[in-house]
Chains A and B, each alone.
Chain A
């Protein structure tokens, strides 16, 4: 079964601090995604990538950066964390754009 691993599983950050969420996939997939999930809302796409060393903006990229140093790894970076970025973050991968996505377990981020 395809595997997507996120770290950390949860994190508490201070407002204005830098946060890096990491994602590693062993699926050999070209596409990787970062989604944000807020209570009562569906998933919203922050950034995605279809090749190493390249990232694309999703629907809500403001306040977030992404990095894809290799096919297997995709990071989400919050340079200046804010209270509004408290959410659960999911990484996912797929072989084809928006075909079946394989999700990680999620990272619960609390910004205080």
Chain B
């Protein structure tokens, strides 16, 4: 069955450190992948998306993600985090299912950036 796994429920890093949030997907077809961020008391916002082409995609606020078909992964990275990056990050997979599109979300990773 298709699925998205975010193995780290919580990640804590110091301000200025680099960051990687992991995302693994299970899908035999061509995946369309997204990262969304949820700031406190807000709805989700799109960070970046991958459809095809260059496996490294750039997003907003210095975030990027790298798609790996061989590893079935779509990890999110940032070179230097800021305290304002503290939020919940969701990886999502869009796929065709029974004639329609389906969007599957991972369980999310709570990122805390320590000053």
Do A and B form a real pair? yes
Number of interface residues of B (CB under 8 A): 24
- Is B43 a contact partner of A97 (Cβ separation < 8 A)? no
Kindly state the interface size class of chain A when it binds its partner.
10 to 19
B114 contacts A by Cβ under 8 Å: no
- Give the chain A neighbours of B4 by CB distance below 8 A: 42
A40-B9, A42-B90 are contacts. A98–B101 as well, Cβ < 8 Å?
A: yes
- Is A103 a contact partner of B107 (Cβ separation < 8 A)? no
Q: Which secondary structure dominates chain B's binding surface?
A: strand
A41-B107, A42-B4, A98-B102 are contacts. A105–B90 as well, Cβ < 8 Å?
A: no
Q: List 18 A-B pairs, Cβ < 8 Å.
A: A4-B43, A40-B9, A42-B104, A42-B107, A43-B90, A45-B102, A45-B103, A90-B43, A97-B100, A97-B101, A98-B32, A98-B101, A98-B102, A100-B49, A101-B103, A103-B43, A103-B44, A103-B45
- List the interface of chain A (C-beta within 8 A of B): 4, 40-45, 90, 92, 97-106
